């Protein structure tokens, strides 16, 4: 019998990573989950899959994408466990809410470290073995923020946009060696990143209060439409047999619509659509001396 294909998934202890690891295990893959607390995370995976404690198809390694030594150690352990992985899924990521002016630089640095620099370092550590094997696919998770800059999550948007450009460049470089790269633009799914667990650095009574109020109001309505992580996992599985050197797919109706709009609408029109959808004030509306826009969710003390 041939060995099962192997996949290394970062951030596999919860959310999309957990759902993806469990689904691929169920399809017969040998799954290695990268996580900060492997003992606890592996128990979650076993509970989700029904796998036995000694099942060699479900493994975990410690991985902290903010720690260079942890990344190097995780890559070494993956190679010892499964050899060159058939697929690497860069799923782990963090976000923070707040305007550019209000989010501290240290938070920007942490977001870029986890969402971009960590995946780059991990890929660099695994690429020699994958090149030597002459096969493999690298999958990176993007989002709406990678398609267009989104207000109040600028740091997250910037990191995802950079991640996409890196993945595109990487695809050119590794294609001659038989490797491929896939970008999955994930829409809204029920994970920690869209819940109140995402840290918020905005001052809701400061200069951007009107914008926060409307974004939060509309966001709460949209979150109710978020899909379960298992739906993303099924979409991920369908992309892993691709042979194209580079592919980009939207997962979720909202992601598909935004990706389509970004391709067919002029930038000026797309920006206007995003502003209207998010309920942002028009240009100059908050200038000194202008009447404060009133929305259904603007705090009473801010009403003009």
> Does the active-site annotation cover 156?
yes
SS3 68: helix
Query: For residue 138, what are the β-bridge partners?
Result: 88, 181
Residues written for the chain? 304
User: Strand 180-186 vs strand 246-251: parallel, antiparallel, or unpaired?
Assistant: parallel
Report the candidate in 110, 112, 175 with the shortest Cα–Cα distance to residue 138. Answer: 175
Catalytic residue among 25, 156, 208, 212: 156
Query: For residue 183, what are the β-bridge partners?
Result: 140, 248
The CA distance from 147 to 204, in Å, is 27
Q: Do 275 and 287 meet the contact criterion of CB atoms below 8 Å apart?
A: no
SS3 253: helix
Q: Do 185 and 160 meet the contact criterion of CB atoms below 8 Å apart?
A: no
Active site residues: 156
């Amino acid at each position: 019998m041939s060995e099962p294909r192997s996949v290394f998934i970062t951030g596999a202890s919860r959310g999309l990573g957990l759902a993806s690891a469990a689904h691929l295990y169920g399809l017969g893959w040998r799954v290695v989950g990268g996580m900060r607390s492997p003992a606890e995370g592996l128990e979650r995976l076993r509970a989700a899959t029904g796998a036995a404690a000694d099942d060699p198809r479900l493994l975990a390694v410690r991985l902290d994408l903010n720690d260079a030594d942890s990344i190097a150690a995780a890559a070494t352990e993956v190679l010892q466990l499964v050899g060159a992985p058939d697929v690497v899924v860069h799923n782990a990521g963090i976000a923070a809410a707040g305007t550019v002016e209000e989010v501290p630089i240290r938070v920007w640095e942490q977001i870029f470290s986890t969402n971009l620099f960590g995946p780059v370092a991990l890929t660099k550590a695994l690429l020699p073995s994958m090149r030597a094997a002459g096969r493999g696919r690298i999958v990176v998770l993007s989002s709406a923020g990678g398609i267009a800059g989104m207000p109040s999550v600028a740091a997250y948007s910037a990191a995802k946009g950079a991640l996409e450009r890196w993945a595109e460049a990487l695809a050119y470089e590794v294609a001659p060696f038989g490797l491929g790269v896939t970008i999955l633009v994930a829409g809204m799914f029920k994970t920690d990143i869209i819940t109140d667990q995402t840290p918020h650095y905005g001052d809701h009574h400061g200069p951007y209060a009107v914008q926060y109020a409307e974004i939060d109001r509309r966001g709460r309505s949209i979150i109710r439409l978020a899909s379960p992580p298992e739906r993303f996992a099924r979409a991920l599985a369908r992309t892993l047999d691709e042979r194209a050197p580079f592919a980009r797919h939207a997962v979720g109706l909202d992601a598909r619509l935004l990706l389509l709009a970004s391709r067919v609408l002029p930038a000026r029109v797309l920006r206007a659509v995003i502003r209207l959808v998010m309920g942002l004030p028009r240009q100059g509306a908050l200038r000194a001396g202008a009447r404060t826009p009133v929305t259904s969710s603007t705090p009473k003390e801010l009403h003009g």
